[in-house]
Amino acid sequence: MESNHVRAESKVVRATVFLYGAEVTRSGTADLLEGDNVVEFEGIPESADPGSLSASSDAGAVTGASMELGALAPARRGTASEAIDEIDAEIAEKSDRVRVLDAEARLLEKGARGARGEPYPESVARYSEFYVGRLTEILAARRNLSRELKALKERKSAMEAEAGDFSEGFRRERRILVSVRADRACRAEVSAAYFTREASWSPSYDIRARDGEKEISIALKGEAMQSTGEDWEGIGLTLSTGRPEDGGRLPSLDVWRIDSFKPRGPPAPMARAVSLAMEDPMEKPEITAASPSSRAERGARTDYALSGSFSVPSGPRGATAAVWERKIAADIRLRCVPKLAPGAFLAASAKGWESLGLIDGPARVFQDGSLSGTASIEVGSFGDAMEVPLGRRASIASSRERGRDMRGDRMFGKSAEAAREWIITVRNTGSSAAEVEIMDQIPVSVSKSVSVEAAELSGGRLDEATGIVTWLEEIPAGGSARKVLRYAVSHPRDEAVRLE
């Protein structure tokens, strides 16, 4: 007996969008007869993966499901060329950011060498302090941009193929066949789910802080995008941190071969956990759909099921949704590092950030309700505390000037000594007192032939491992704090050290 063949209209009703790719569920109703039925869904985007297909029905047992290429269908009329132009603009913007990061990496490498291209003698001591730390941030940001560029280029390729079909007036589609055995004649809902690579979502954050409060607010937003050629209208949306395509590859260790070498590296000021860009940030589009979400831990991934319905058009314009907003206790204080930059930055240091489930992404930073800059959340750079810069504080001025170096540079026997003195001044021009964390550093030796003596710290706390000196000062309105940092470096007379 032949199966009852039913063509049914279907539409996308749910989507779980991963960082790269999405599981799409579509549904339709069909009039089934008692016995075997085959329900056919037409108009399935060609990007649907046949190997990922699954199906279900609320009436009877599903005995099979398959996906095959259908005939050429009339192309959907749209503004494909405009969408491709927008993708090109976004690719150009992200490519520029990659070039800027590459330029910064080259500057770091250049800074690792002296005027004649030789490494700084004392650079080994601080190699991992700044050079490795900042280079790690640059490489992480570059990886994120590379992934985003790859996704954009894949979407562009899909849209160019679609645009080519537009010129011919046709495009290739798939169809889904679902076999259902019904106990009785009825109207049934039949669903099919499949994976597509033509979708992704990207996280971004809003970080807010207010003077006098001991906490910061962090809000996660997600922008879902897809280029399947089919608009998703009024769907249930879940954003997932999972990467289905990575799940089938087990990590393996290669042989670790080791040899000795002469380290080469640059001098390092203070390391930074989160980098702050103080230029005027680009204004982001307003959230088009915002709602609370439910969070589900699924092994190595987290799923955020958003409440309400969403529309995600095919093309470069995605849908942005509020995922969650949480408050976390934070130590908020002014940090002043005159060696690196004049003035002072307001910084928040928050422990317990691991419970937030953060993933790498850009952030806008707000202080007292005003946008103060942008930051980059790089989870791999956080230690026990997540440090977030909240912007400059205009009422705090600082300076760092070379002192008289009373001992000067001296030679005696086979040894030499170089001494340095720095005068650090921090002024509070505001109308209220301010507690300021002042930071500087002395060099750290890694050679038995080189020794460092901290001659004057002005009551500062010295971290012997890093050489960082910290003062915590309460500076009254209109007042100032003055610190003297003095140190001497002894080394073999026939060798040199660079102290600037």
Span 459-474, average pLDDT = 93
DSSP assigned state of 253 = P
The pLDDT, as a whole number, for residue 268 is 42
Q: Which residue has the higher pLDDT, 335 or 145?
A: 335
The pLDDT, as a whole number, for residue 103 is 85
Average pLDDT, the chain: 81
Closest to 30 measured CA to CA, from 172, 176, 231, 173: 176
The pLDDT, as a whole number, for residue 266 is 45
Whole-model pTM: value is 0.67
pLDDT tier at 264 (50, 70, 90 boundaries)?
low
Secondary structure element (H or E) that encloses residue 118, with its range: none
The pLDDT, as a whole number, for residue 274 is 40
Give CA–CA dist 485/357, Å, rounded: 41
Give CA–CA dist 15/23, Å, rounded: 6
Q: Which fold has domain 397-492?
A: Immunoglobulin-like (2.60.40)
The pLDDT, as a whole number, for residue 237 is 96
The pLDDT, as a whole number, for residue 407 is 60
Give CA–CA dist 434/437, Å, rounded: 10
**Sign of the alpha-carbon dihedral angle for 15, 17, 18, 21:** positive
How do residues 313-354 score in pLDDT, each as one tens digit? 988 788 999 999 999 999 888 999 998 888 888 888 898 888
The pLDDT, as a whole number, for residue 9 is 94
How do residues 425-461 score in pLDDT, each as one tens digit? 999 998 899 999 999 999 998 888 888 999 999 999 9
Q: What is the dihedral of CA 211, 217, 223, 224, to 10 degrees?
A: 180
Q: Which residue has the higher pLDDT, 429 or 76?
A: 429
DSSP assigned state of 342 = S
Span 94-107, average pLDDT = 84
The answer to whether 310 touches 321, Cβ cutoff 8 Å, is: yes
Check whether 389 has a pLDDT greater than 60. Answer: yes
Closest to 233 measured CA to CA, from 314, 152, 163: 314
pLDDT tier at 423 (50, 70, 90 boundaries)?
very high
How do residues 159-170 score in pLDDT, each as one tens digit? 676 555 444 555
pLDDT tier at 356 (50, 70, 90 boundaries)?
confident
The pLDDT, as a whole number, for residue 33 is 94
The pLDDT, as a whole number, for residue 153 is 83
Q: Which residue has the higher pLDDT, 39 or 499?
A: 39
* Domain parsing of the chain, residue ranges: 4-75+169-196, 397-492
The pLDDT, as a whole number, for residue 259 is 63
Closest to 46 measured CA to CA, from 242, 194, 223, 248: 194
Q: Which residue has the higher pLDDT, 143 or 405?
A: 143
